[in-house]
Amino acid sequence: MNRPALYITRLLPPPVIEAIPRHYRLLTGPSDEPPTATELRQGFREADAVICTLSDRIDASLLSHTTRLKIIANYAVGYNNIDVAAAAQRGIAVTNTPDVLTEATADLTWALLLSVSRRVVEGDAWVRTATWPGWRPTQMLGAEVSGKTLGIIGMGRIGQAVARRAVGFGMPVIYAGRRSIVSPPGVTWVSRSLPEVLAESDFLSLHVPLTQATQHLIGPQELATMKPTAFLLNTSRGPVLDEAALVSALEAGTIAGAGLDVYEHEPVVTAALRGLPNVVLLPHLGSATLETRVRMGLVCLNNIAAVLEGGTAPNQVR
Ligand code: DGY
């Protein structure tokens, strides 16, 4: 049987790779390294289906090289890396991986929240130097988490999953966004304007997709509205936050600290940001659990199967 050609821009976890040969002919052995422009063009030219990642830029120029491509399955929930309109013009479906990474990303948001407020990374680094002199009442005092107000900007799946975890910490949740959300039993999530959420949050977490409207949603003015004791968390997309403005705000004490998993110019993280003591910086780990990354791959394969069989992909975007 002539199996459809599948191009994968990056190595995926073993259970996903192992599932491929049953149904597809894999073009090139996938590599952990980003493809070169030439490799990307070749893959897109020869494939019936592509699985790509959030750091592959899929624009109209690249798509002009396609000859038989039916579907681009983005291995991410965010798809700001793909020119969806250009794909649609060529009749190429674009899909993403919603739901399966919600809980992992929400967990990681809380890891950042707790790490930056309780100085977990600093403390670990200190102990490793073997210079910790022992417990002292005034040592490494952080900020209390329990009972503080959690603000969410972008109350979609991940924003809500982050908010649900606040119950265990006795934290009231306020949120900004267009949608009216039904709070879980026993708690009330309060809808507020963006300026109110900025001004009232002790922890502010960003969960909007990156679009033209959300680029630099949080800039100098918004940061100036926040409490000097507040912490900002970003596990969405780097450009949602004006990184230079954030550095200035952190240096000036406009806000207390930040926990970041994403950056404006990934994978570049500026020296200014890396030099700050009041930030925790992670290498885009939001969905990085084995279970989640396997599920994401299987979602991609499921979408591909649907489209190549002539149907509509369950996770087609727009
Ligand atoms: C996504 O799916 O958009 C995440 O950023 C991947 O970790």
Tell me the per-residue pLDDT of 96-120, one tens digit each, with 9 for 90 and over: 999 999 999 999 999 999 999 999 9
Domain count, the chain: 2
User: What residues make up the domain containing 212?
Assistant: 102-281
Same domain, 45 and 66: yes
- Could you tell me the distance, in angstroms and rounded to a whole number, from the CA of residue 78 to the centre of ligand 1? 6
Q: 3-state DSSP call for residue 213?
A: coil
Q: How many other CB atoms sit within 10 Å of the CB of residue 187?
A: 13
Task: Give the C-alpha separation, 191 to 196, whole Å.
Answer: 10
Nearest to 203 by CA among 249, 152, 156: 152
Q: Across all residues in the chain, what is the average pLDDT?
A: 97
Domain membership flag for residue 315? no
Tell me the per-residue pLDDT of 68-101, one tens digit each, with 9 for 90 and over: 999 999 999 999 999 999 999 999 999 999 999 9
pTM for this prediction: 0.96
Same domain, 261 and 174: yes
Same domain, 107 and 57: no
Same domain, 173 and 275: yes
Whether residue 267 has a cis bond before it, omega within 30° of 0: yes
287 within ligand 1 shell (Cβ under 6 A): yes
Same domain, 186 and 169: yes
Domain membership flag for residue 277? yes
Tell me the per-residue pLDDT of 207-260, one tens digit each, with 9 for 90 and over: 999 999 999 999 999 999 999 999 999 999 999 999 999 999 999 999 999 999
| CA distances in angstroms from 178 to 105, 154, 155, 181, 246, listed in the order given | 22, 8, 9, 9, 25
Domain membership flag for residue 317? no
With 70 as the cut, is the pLDDT of residue 1 above it? no
Domain membership flag for residue 270? yes
pLDDT band of 270, cuts 50, 70, 90:
very high
Tell me the per-residue pLDDT of 132-177, one tens digit each, with 9 for 90 and over: 999 999 999 999 999 999 999 999 999 999 999 999 999 999 999 8
Percentage of the chain lying above the pLDDT 90 cut: 97
pLDDT mean over 178-197: 92
Residue 151: which H helix or E strand, with range? strand 150-153
CATH value at residue 125: 3.40.50.720
Same domain, 155 and 276: yes
Contacts of 288 (CB under 8 A, 6+ apart): 104, 108
Task: Give the C-alpha separation, 291 to 13, whole Å.
Answer: 9
Are the C-beta atoms of residues 248 and 241 closer than 8 Å to each other?
Answer: no
- Could you tell me the distance, in angstroms and rounded to a whole number, from the CA of residue 133 to the centre of ligand 1? 41
Same domain, 82 and 113: no
- Which numbered atom of ligand 1 lies nearest the CA of 75? 2
Domain membership flag for residue 74? yes
Domain membership flag for residue 47? yes
Same domain, 52 and 116: no
- Could you tell me the distance, in angstroms and rounded to a whole number, from the CA of residue 315 to the centre of ligand 1? 15
Same domain, 33 and 72: yes
Same domain, 73 and 113: no
Domain membership flag for residue 314? no
300 within ligand 1 shell (Cβ under 6 A): no
Same domain, 114 and 157: yes
| CA distances in angstroms from 64 to 3, 54, 87, 176, 184, listed in the order given | 24, 20, 9, 39, 47
Same domain, 15 and 156: no
Q: At what angle do helices 102-117 and 290-308 cross, to 10 degrees?
A: 150
